[in-house]
Amino acid sequence: ILASLLLKLGGYGLFRIICFFHAVGLTTSLFFLASLASMITFTQSDSKKLIAYSSVTHMSMMAVSPMGGPAVMFFVVAMASLSHSWASSGMFLMGGSFSHASHSRLLQLAWGESKFSKV
């Protein structure tokens, strides 16, 4: 819960700084960095690292919101925060149950366990 609260407060700070990036014209470079963050997330083999990096990817996608214009920016940030809250809770629940069942956080073992799990 504390990490979620800190992430949302960081999201508010990021939202305040986004306006500066939009004024300077750095949104295209932020889009490139957000794409790079999502590619790095896909390369993870540890389930907890994958979930943590997905939070970073959600935050970087929020930083790209000025590309849609100021009218869309508020809606995108609010929806990204809400969807991240629900998605990260579910991902941590499933990641914890898979790592508990397989006694490992490696995704290769968890995917094999998911075929036999009742969760």
Q: What is the predicted pLDDT for the residue at 97?
A: 83
User: Is residue 54 a part of any domain in this protein?
Assistant: yes
Total count of domains within the chain: 1
Supply φ then ψ for residue 106, to 5 degrees.
-70, 130
| 3-class SS of residue 106 | strand
Write out the residue range of the structural domain in which residue 94 sits: 2-114
User: Is residue 17 a part of any domain in this protein?
Assistant: yes
User: Is residue 35 a part of any domain in this protein?
Assistant: yes
Residue type, 8: K
Q: What is the predicted pLDDT for the residue at 81?
A: 77
User: Is residue 119 a part of any domain in this protein?
Assistant: no
DSSP assignment letter at 82: H
Q: Is the pTM of this model over 0.75?
A: no
Q: What is the predicted pLDDT for the residue at 73?
A: 76
> How does pLDDT run across 45-85, given as a tens digit for each residue?
888 888 888 888 888 877 777 777 777 777 877 787 778 77
Q: What is the predicted pLDDT for the residue at 77?
A: 77
Q: What is the predicted pLDDT for the residue at 20?
A: 72
